Amino acid sequence: MSPFLKYTLARLGLFGLAALIMLSLPIAISVLLKLMIAVLISAVLAFFLLKGLRDEASVSAVGMAERRAEKKERLRAALNGDDDGGEGATKSD
């Protein structure tokens, strides 16, 4: 499973749990306010509890960005005729 998907599901799970707890409390405030409080609580909990998953997702994102940059450079070199394959360099008139 992708690190991004794991982190996203964990964040949604924390929010769901916080929302369930907030909605079950017998406090006389609106449902929307309870959900906003649940968002804040889940964000704070995620900051501390999901550090490992967040780091995994970050490492994965950096790796994807590096691979994308390398692929872009290879494509740019191929379009400029600077590739090592020599396809553009073997043509002669």
| pLDDT tens-place string over residues 11-49 | 999 999 999 999 999 999 999 999 999 999 999 999 999
- Write the pLDDT tens digit of every residue in 76-85: 988 888 766 5
Average pLDDT over residues 49-62: 92
At residue 1, the pLDDT reads 87
Instruction: Report DSSP letters for the chain, one per residue.
Output: --HHHHHHHHHHHHHHHHHHHHHHS---S-HHHHHHHHHHHHHHHHHHHTHHHHHHHHHHHHHHHHHHHHHHHHHHHHHHT--TT-TTTT---
Measured CA to CA, the distance from residue 37 to residue 43 in angstroms comes to 10
